[in-house]
Amino acid sequence: MSIDKTWQIISDDPAKTEQLAEKIGKQLKGGETIELVSDLGGGKTTFVRGLARGAGSTDKVASPTFTISKVYDTPNFQIHHFDFYRLPEPGIVADELAELVNDPKIVIVVEWADSVQEVLPSERLLLRIKQTPEGHRELTFSAPESLNYLREAVK
Ligand SMILES: Nc1ncnc2c1ncn2[C@@H]1O[C@H](COP(=O)(O)OP(=O)(O)O)[C@@H](O)[C@H]1O
Ligand SMILES: [Mg+2]
């Protein structure tokens, strides 16, 4: 079993968060899962916007809160963006998500994943975002060795 590596980056503004995400998006191969954890307004969707752009998508990224999931096309894979905010019983959507895991033509990004923890792969990039008293964001990434190429992109 590999131990996850953890690293931190401070982001001063939304553009910086997008820029970091864009670098990671450029390195995605397909088949990865990314879990985003923060309070409302932490910058999860902002991160996904940069990630999709980095992966070569021109699709509009917005919070899928009311649709649960959205799909963005990139030249190499689809990004499936889930948001389970206030959805204690993910039901059939959790089944859909489970079927997408490890599909090499798909990258999964999940906001508010508490209710779907058991269907997420253990090998995933985890990003926790905290707002600092100054209004900045402290990004704490955690990833297994198999995803080292994503760490290299931003360290
Ligand atoms: N460093 C930062 N990184 C990301 N967003 C920031 C940052 N500083 C301020 N913001 C603002 O915080 C909000 C984040 O919103 P959003 O990405 O939708 O968060 P979430 O999806 O976590 O609810 C945006 O209004 C953005 O402009
Ligand atoms: Mg959001």
Q: What is the 3-state secondary structure (H, E, C) of 63-118?
A: CCCCCCEEEEECCCCEEEEEECCCCCCCHHHHHHHHHHCCCCCEEEEEECCHHHHH
**Does the Cβ of 14 fall within 6 Å of ligand 1?**
yes
Per-residue pLDDT at 1: 57
In the numeric block, which tokens belong to residue 18? 């997008």
Per-residue pLDDT, 65: 62
> Is this prediction's pTM over 0.85?
yes
Counting ligands in written order, the one closest to the CA of 64 is 2
Q: Return the SS3 of 23.
A: helix
Q: Of all helices (H) and strands (E), which one includes residue 24?
A: helix 14-27
* Per-residue model confidence (pLDDT) at position 63: 80
Q: Which ligand is nearest to the Cα of residue 63, counting in written order?
A: 2
DSSP at 42: S
Q: What are phi and psi of 20, to 5 degrees?
A: -60, -45
Q: Which atom of ligand 1 is nearest to the CA of 111?
A: 21
Whether ligand 1 lies within 6 angstroms of the CB of 115 is answered as no
Q: What is the chain's pLDDT, residue by residue, as a tens digit (155 residues)?
A: 568 999 999 999 999 999 999 999 999 999 999 999 999 999 999 999 999 999 999 999 988 666 789 999 999 999 999 999 988 788 899 999 999 999 999 999 999 999 999 999 999 999 999 999 999 999 999 999 999 999 999 98
